[in-house]
Structure 1
Amino acid sequence: MTAKLFQPKYIAHCLTLVFSAYHAAAFSQASSEAEIEVIEVTSSKRVKNMQKVPVAIQALSSQTLAEQNLSNLDSLNLYLPNVNIASRGPGQADIFMRGMAIQPIAVMLSGAQGTMPNVAVYLDEQPVTAPGRNIDVYTHDLERVEVLAGPQGTLFGASSQAGTIRYITNKPTRGTFEASTSLGFANTKHGETSHSAQGMLNLPITDDLSLRLSAYTVLQGGYIDNRFGEFTLDPTINPNSIVNIEGASYQMADNLSLVEDDFNQNRYQGFRLSGQYWIDDDWQLLLQHNAQQIEADGVFDMDPEVGDLAVSRFFPDTLEDEFKQSALTLSGRIQQLEVLYSGSVLKREVNQQIDYTGYNNTGAYIAYYTCTYTNPNYIANYNIPASLITEQRECKDPTKGFVGQQSHDKTTHELRFVYDAHRFVDSVFGIYLDDFLLETQDDYVYLAAPELGFAPNAPISTANNINPNTRAPGVTFFNDVTRSEKQQAVFAELSFHLTEQLSATFGARKYKIETGISGSSNFADGIFQGSVNTDRGRDYDVSGGHSDKPWIQKDTIYKFNLSYNWQLDKLIYATYSEGFRPGGFNRGGGIESNNPEFPTVSTTYNTDDVKNYELGFKSTWLDNRLRFNANAYHIEWQNMQVSRFDPQNVSILTFIENAADAEINGLEADAVWQVTPDWRLFSAFSYIKSELTQLKAEAIELVSVGSALPLTPKFQGNLRSQYSWQLGEYWLDWHFAWVYSASSWSSIVAEQREKQDSYQIMNTSINLDLNNWQLQIYLDNLADERAKLFINDQDDIKRVTVNRPRTLGIKLKYRY
């Protein structure tokens, strides 16, 4: 563990927090009778009291989710100070934890070239992680959300490199009829109204069989305006476009037909049906089916040059994101051995359109796709119509757009065993199989191309394509790419109870991953190819060092943990753990760079490796009225996977490079304090110091050694207060929450790096419990803070993702 974590000022801050809480709680001990609830988690692959598990865990219960209006990934992030997200809207987020962050690849390229995330997302027993498009589960009828910080690779596998987020759904309850329904309405300042309807039914069919059904439909009103704008090619912005020829004319595009206030509304709709059969006293069978659809219009980031909460978009922005998951879980006991089998199938379909007009500002061949030519010899040389040759160059409609379709098919199987009947040793061990197929079709539409004689673009005839058909007129470039990933793993953790207080745990996971890529990237043919399709592009079975054989990656990662209970309710632990995520293929790898001074990008990029050293402390005090947990960690991150698009120097295709090493030192803590029987305080914070320690990039120009990693504030924290009044037989609760984040940087790439300012957000609500009825009135973003959550130039124009403006809402719930 690095000495930096133990500088006196940091120790003093921690001790101040601990002892001030202790003395304040002691003062109120005589009047406090209520206790903090016990939270059970399954982070160790078995059900345990969270305070007994020597792992850094935050758990948001179903009650917390409801009281704080935490409905999706963006809102969950507010109360998880060691978690950061780079989001461009529903279903378009990358998740980072403990400062292990890299600016994400453009969402339109996430399928063809995006790296696998370094934070795994689980829906019950199945990982649903995906590059650039983590499934955004709506939180209706969840039991809890578990956040496991630090590498969890031995038990949770690939991508659990920086941590794991687990959505745990409510399961059918045996022998009990339950039902509820709720309605909600909200109004957003500067925006539209929102409304929701949700319901749940738990129905016992027999003494041994119960069904549970939950459903929801939620419309979230927009708050970003698409304002009128005009766009022309500008040689002063993009001199590499080669259109700055004297006398050239430039056609202007406008977005009049797309102008709309509050155009970024979105809708979540879904249901969950599950059935549980209690076979006997030892065995249970659970069947589940989850389905969710997100429909969104517009964008969720603003353009500061256009105005507050405003953009000017020239091509429709739409999203349809649907997933269906079916799962079977059989659990039971064979004498002293607990057994669990889980099999899940996930199918996901994403259709999206994105305005791509900003590419005119950065593309190296804009004139080729947008402007006429003046050389009359081209008529004879290339057999083209005379109308394509003009006296002066005429640049046509610059509007450009992206039309993408992506599908995910994922099948997982896990068989695991738990043995904890022995006095001196217990264990969890098992096998895991994962088959993931990602198919992406990414069409880039240039409205000027048909007028300039570009041939209809067909996929390379010899490639293994998803769609063999010629694309629509105007599609001048497209990816037709299939990525596959097959995993096989065996894992085990053994815990030895050396004394009644001291335990040592050894964990390991041996894995084999087969990664494949097939398909093609295709360039349209214009006048220099005689306006005839010539199969220009990349065939990923043969070009640039690619082949039709999978790339095999295999290794073993380890974990060691030592824990000591110096009292029944106080635990100290030390952990060494390793994490990994798979490497992958570069579409443009193996091809010489456009600029000979830049090296050739490699065909593959490797896994990046993580070593984590951690000291942790878990405790409850004063008869379970004060809970305080904290941990300090040192992370060594090697061969970081960094993406870059550099058409001038390297390739027209975005690529990935193992570009740098970094170190991260951090301190995080959370506390719950039952001040009086009626007043409870919650707090959590994280302090992170990250820095690049070595640059390995050959084709990417990064910031200097010593620079902080992106999207990682040095300090984040929150404080929540809950006060309850009894009004006869009813209860009234008042909640107040304050969230603070220090400033951060947007990127690790030098020319894209911008400072993201600090911010603070306040939320408040009043909840009235009238036995079967519940009424909630809430006010989110009390001060109407405009928090800069993610600055990006993924659309080649600076965008800033901000939080939702001040929102006043009401919810009414009835429980049967």
Structure 2
Amino acid sequence: MLKHCSGASIGALAIAIAASGTAHAQEAAPAQRQGGITEIVVTATKRTENLQDVPLSVNALGGEELDNLGVDTFDDYLEQLPSLTAGGSGPGQSTIYIRGLASTTPNLTTAGVAGLAPNVAMYLDEQPLSQPGRNLDVYAADLERIEVLAGPQGTLFGASSQAGVVRLITNKPDLAGFDASAKAGVSFTKGGESSYKGEVMLNVPVTDRFALRGVVFLDDQGGYIDNVYGTRSMADSARFRPEGTVRYNGVPVSARRAGFQQNADLSNVTFIEADNARLVEDNFNDTLYSGFRVSGLYEFNNDWKLTVAHMRQSVESDGVFFADPELGLDNLDIQRFSDDRLEDDFSNTSWTVEGRLAALDIVYTGAYTDRETDQNVGYSDYLFVGQYIPYYMCDTAVSYPGYVASAPADPTCYAPNLAVKSHSETSVFTQELRFSTPEENRIRATAGGFYQNLVLKERNDYYYASEMVRGSDGVTTGFAPVYPFTNTEVTGTVGNAYPGYFSDPGPLPEGVGFRNDVKRTDKQWGIFGEASFDIIPDVLTITGGARYYDVKVDLEGAATSAFCKLNSPIFGANAGVDPADQVNIPGCGGTNLDLKYGPDRAPGVPGSAKTNGTIFKGTLTYKPMDDVMFYATYSEGFRPGLLNRPGGANGPGDYVVPYALDTDEVKNYEFGWKMQGFDRQVRFNGSAYYVDISRLQTTIFDPSITNLFFSDNAADARIYGVEGDFTFAPYAVPGLTLAGAFSFLNTKVTKVLVPTNDVREGFDLAYAPSFQGNLRVRYEWDLGDTGMVAHVMPQVVHSGSKYTDIIDINRLKLDSYTTFSLSAGVKKDQWSFEVYGENLTDTRAEIAGSFNFDRPRITTNRPLTVGMRVGWHY
């Protein structure tokens, strides 16, 4: 069976060059160089169809093309698909956006507390893997293809497909015969470390009805960012302050973030410096991907079969993947004062039963995913927002000047060695049952039901260096032990304690000033269907679809503080009590979500964020001739809301932070075309669209409303866009393929719905470059009578500038960039060898960024990298 090269959306369609089974490369090569475009098969409508017959904007990268492009990880295929962008930074820490439908950069340390639901669905085969705050970074081992469905796909794919769907389709076990392959590579990065990778695949037919397939992979990616020496204190010099920042008696804070301590007299304060000498390291951001996937296929008879797959993957990463432009972006330098690291492990088991009952095709699929992450995040950049730093990091006499009559004459602000230790456990259980009528019928339909239960448990411990405070007698007193807010089993029902969720009985570890300990449960079920009717067979077709959805999001847990200053002398029940006397207090301060959203919640406070409703889709398809299709589509999408930790806080005027967010919704109007011509030597697919966005969700930090991050339906917006891809494979020049893709965007906030100066009408949406595109040429030829086939493939990728947020105070502009790559190699029999160069001009492409702490942090591409790959296929 020939492997299909994809090409639709990056425009990158190289012609298929290898056959599976025992076919050798030189046997497939002559057909390859006859010219013409290879058919692409996709399952974007949950049916197996030729890409050119699907009235959707579908971009596809096939297995052969994934190998040609060296695609292994999330960042690799993101670069190849112009309709995609991503926020976040580093392996396992990015959120996908399609067509610029984005509002904010995700804050991973609060993903469980305030993480917006993703609006792009990530699928592995038939199962959704989307998770709040963090997308799974699935390694692209032994994939048949990657499909990207742009625009709302809610009728068939549900809540997280508001902007589109990314589908990773794996190669399945094959009963046809034994198959094996292996590939390995090494690469060298300018100014960085070497990288190594390897992958082995086996396909074994055990009987004529039972086959097993397995793949194992290891990818060690060397670092290229340097952690350079520096010191940092709360009285840091002007060179560390962002433009427009003012100084309040030695504390650098933005005027828009100035807190109650802004006028404190710090002239007699001792500032202790943080020093990162022990952490200084070149190329400290290395990453290791490792894992395996094994799948089994059993055919009961000609109509029914069962496929079961299990995958495990581990990602271990050190350092950070962003640099500080104020230290020189060209040098890729950063100053970190804590040991940044990530361990991200997941296991996934899926099962699919496919069969036929009378005229109906039936598919039942289920999956269970278990993910565990442990991450240490340096938090010293929090210094630069300055909001309440003296309150956290200094003696009481600094935070509350004049409160303590006999305050020491030499108060101290401690070293800002801040860090967050994050532990999360996520489980996702999904089931779907669907029925399809025969594709050849004039009236045909797909319908079914879906259920998902996602449970995310996240515990974030915030470490501060100032766990001590000086009381009125000048004696330094500690706060420990402090027990988690809800831990009544240890402390008894005292103070604010309440029976509820906690993951650790406590007390808080030494050095922990705050803990967010949250369990979030997202449950959804839906009934969906799409039906098509051929008004004029093979010429004019109308399709209608609908989905009824019911989604419920619950939040349990607490935010516990060891800073008893939270309750004194200004705040809470302990106001007026000397901090030196505030010890051994369970849940010393913070917020108890179980009290707020539990069964004893106040009147009018919802116990969960619930939503239900129906969305619709309609498409008219017109095929005036073979290989030419036009379609017009109206489609709707939605994203569920969530609960707010600071819900109920009063803002300007009569504004109140909502306890529960409403859904945000999109209406998509699209006209598309798919064309092949000149005896299938040219393919040109594209679409033009308008997207109307209502109640766009975003995360906000506005001290005039509350001193905590919260989320709201902040704005209405709209998007205009045109995207397309093309492929040219002329018969006159066998072996030549020219492919490209493009995306034009115009996005705009049209109406602000919350009373804050941080969202402005007319702003571009986040991660929405006005233009993205790529172009690639691949040429193959025979090397005389040697039996070898050579190839060369240059590629160029361009992205326009973009912003990282619609929140003005967090808004960072990322520059446009253009990168070049080149590969060349030979194939003979079962063997292939290739050399390649990526980012040949050593460009610092600004992929993503953040300004959440008034400091620009920019994620770039890997510097100039050259390498070689060898492959073997039996």
Structure 2 residue 162 is the aligned partner of structure 1 residue 169: no
Amino acid at match of 2:266: I
Aligned partner of 1:178 in structure 2 is 179
Amino acid at match of 1:519: G
* 2:615 alignment partner, one of 540, 557, 581: 557
**In the aligned structure 2, how far is the partner of 1:325 from the partner of 1:375?**
52
Aligned partner of 1:537 in structure 2 is 590
Amino acid at match of 1:483: R
**In the aligned structure 2, how far is the partner of 1:752 from the partner of 1:374?**
31
**In the aligned structure 2, how far is the partner of 1:101 from the partner of 1:423?**
40
After superposition, the Cα gap between the structure-2 partners of 1:378 and 1:641, relative to the gap in structure 1 and judged at 3 Å, is closer
Aligned partner of 1:296 in structure 2 is 317
What TM-score do you get using the length of structure 2 for normalisation? 0.86
* Larger CA deviation: 430-439 vs 525-534: 525-534
Structure 2 residue 555 is the aligned partner of structure 1 residue 517: yes
Structure 2 residue 840 is the aligned partner of structure 1 residue 782: yes
* 2:479 alignment partner, one of 451, 454, 471: 454
Ranges in structure 1 where 5+ consecutive residues have no aligned partner: 1-16, 18-30
Structure 2 residue 501 is the aligned partner of structure 1 residue 464: yes
After superposition, the Cα gap between the structure-2 partners of 1:457 and 1:38, relative to the gap in structure 1 and judged at 3 Å, is farther
User: Any idea what SS the aligned residue of 2:223 has?
Assistant: coil
1:599-748 equivalences in 2 (<5 Å): 599-646=655-702, 648-675=703-730, 676-699=733-756, 701-703=758-760, 705-727=761-783, 728=785, 729-748=787-806
Aligned partner of 2:7 in structure 1 is none
* Larger CA deviation: 254-263 vs 546-555: 546-555
**In the aligned structure 2, how far is the partner of 1:366 from the partner of 1:375?**
10
User: Any idea what SS the aligned residue of 2:729 has?
Assistant: strand
Give 1:365 shift. Answer: 2.4
* Larger CA deviation: 620-629 vs 360-369: 360-369
**In the aligned structure 2, how far is the partner of 1:252 from the partner of 1:411?**
48
* 1:476 alignment partner, one of 506, 513, 531: 513
Amino acid at match of 1:526: C
**In the aligned structure 2, how far is the partner of 1:751 from the partner of 1:431?**
43
User: Any idea what SS the aligned residue of 1:427 has?
Assistant: strand
**In the aligned structure 2, how far is the partner of 1:749 from the partner of 1:129?**
24
Amino acid at match of 2:374: N
Aligned partner of 1:7 in structure 2 is none
**In the aligned structure 2, how far is the partner of 1:377 from the partner of 1:206?**
78
**In the aligned structure 1, how far is the partner of 2:485 from the partner of 2:311?**
38
User: Any idea what SS the aligned residue of 2:832 has?
Assistant: strand
Q: Which runs of 4+ in 1 moved over 6 A?
A: 375-382
* 1:584 alignment partner, one of 631, 642, 652: 642
User: Any idea what SS the aligned residue of 1:653 has?
Assistant: coil
Aligned partner of 2:423 in structure 1 is 405
**In the aligned structure 1, how far is the partner of 2:88 from the partner of 2:64?**
26
1:71-105 per-position Cα deviation (integer Å, ceiling 9, x unaligned): 11112111111111113100000111111111223
1:369-421 per-position Cα deviation (integer Å, ceiling 9, x unaligned): 22224499999999xxx9xx531221122211010001110000000011026
1:561-572 equivalences in 2 (<5 Å): 561-572=619-630
Aligned partner of 1:154 in structure 2 is 155
**In the aligned structure 2, how far is the partner of 1:206 from the partner of 1:153?**
40
User: Any idea what SS the aligned residue of 1:652 has?
Assistant: coil
1:227-246 equivalences in 2 (<5 Å): 227-234=228-235, 235-238=250-253, 240=259, 241-242=261-262, 244-246=265-267
**In the aligned structure 2, how far is the partner of 1:741 from the partner of 1:154?**
31
Give 1:299 shift. Answer: 0.3
* Larger CA deviation: 420-429 vs 758-767: 420-429
1:567-593 per-position Cα deviation (integer Å, ceiling 9, x unaligned): 121111000000011111111111335
* 1:495 alignment partner, one of 513, 516, 532: 532
Give 1:422 shift. Answer: 6.1
After superposition, the Cα gap between the structure-2 partners of 1:422 and 1:806, relative to the gap in structure 1 and judged at 3 Å, is closer
Ranges in structure 2 where 5+ consecutive residues have no aligned partner: 1-10, 12-31, 236-249, 470-476, 487-497, 569-578
Contact persistence 1:450–1:474 (CA under 8 A): no
Contact persistence 2:95–2:106 (CA under 8 A): no
Aligned partner of 2:374 in structure 1 is 351
Give 1:361 shift. Answer: 1.9
What TM-score do you get using the length of structure 1 for normalisation? 0.92
After superposition, the Cα gap between the structure-2 partners of 1:539 and 1:726, relative to the gap in structure 1 and judged at 3 Å, is same
* 1:444 alignment partner, one of 455, 462, 467: 462
After superposition, the Cα gap between the structure-2 partners of 1:392 and 1:568, relative to the gap in structure 1 and judged at 3 Å, is same
User: Any idea what SS the aligned residue of 1:690 has?
Assistant: strand
Aligned partner of 1:329 in structure 2 is 352
Please tell me the root mean square deviation across aligned C-alpha atoms, in Å. Answer: 2.2
**In the aligned structure 2, how far is the partner of 1:689 from the partner of 1:511?**
30
Aligned partner of 1:6 in structure 2 is none
Aligned partner of 2:52 in structure 1 is 51
After superposition, the Cα gap between the structure-2 partners of 1:348 and 1:548, relative to the gap in structure 1 and judged at 3 Å, is farther
Give 1:196 shift. Answer: 0.7
**In the aligned structure 2, how far is the partner of 1:402 from the partner of 1:377?**
26
Amino acid at match of 1:689: N
1:307-322 equivalences in 2 (<5 Å): 307=328, 308-322=331-345
1:655-697 per-position Cα deviation (integer Å, ceiling 9, x unaligned): 1010111111111110111032111000100111111111112
After superposition, the Cα gap between the structure-2 partners of 1:230 and 1:597, relative to the gap in structure 1 and judged at 3 Å, is farther
**In the aligned structure 2, how far is the partner of 1:55 from the partner of 1:375?**
61
Structure 2 residue 280 is the aligned partner of structure 1 residue 279: no
1:596-622 per-position Cα deviation (integer Å, ceiling 9, x unaligned): 668331111111000000001001112
User: Any idea what SS the aligned residue of 2:76 has?
Assistant: helix
User: Any idea what SS the aligned residue of 1:138 has?
Assistant: coil
Give 1:812 shift. Answer: 1.1
1:715-773 per-position Cα deviation (integer Å, ceiling 9, x unaligned): 11110000001123111111111011111222211223232211101111012112111
Aligned partner of 2:523 in structure 1 is 486
Contact persistence 1:616–1:630 (CA under 8 A): yes
Give 1:454 shift. Answer: 2.7
* 1:434 alignment partner, one of 452, 463, 466: 452
Give 1:248 shift. Answer: 1.1
Contact persistence 1:525–1:533 (CA under 8 A): no
Contact persistence 1:222–1:263 (CA under 8 A): yes
User: Any idea what SS the aligned residue of 2:503 has?
Assistant: coil
Structure 2 residue 862 is the aligned partner of structure 1 residue 798: no
**In the aligned structure 1, how far is the partner of 2:701 from the partner of 2:607?**
27
Give 1:36 shift. Answer: 1.2
Aligned partner of 1:140 in structure 2 is 141
Aligned partner of 1:247 in structure 2 is 268
After superposition, the Cα gap between the structure-2 partners of 1:257 and 1:557, relative to the gap in structure 1 and judged at 3 Å, is same
After superposition, the Cα gap between the structure-2 partners of 1:128 and 1:351, relative to the gap in structure 1 and judged at 3 Å, is same
**In the aligned structure 1, how far is the partner of 2:444 from the partner of 2:722?**
30
Aligned partner of 2:280 in structure 1 is 259
* Larger CA deviation: 44-53 vs 652-661: 652-661
Structure 2 residue 81 is the aligned partner of structure 1 residue 80: yes
**In the aligned structure 1, how far is the partner of 2:281 from the partner of 2:315?**
21
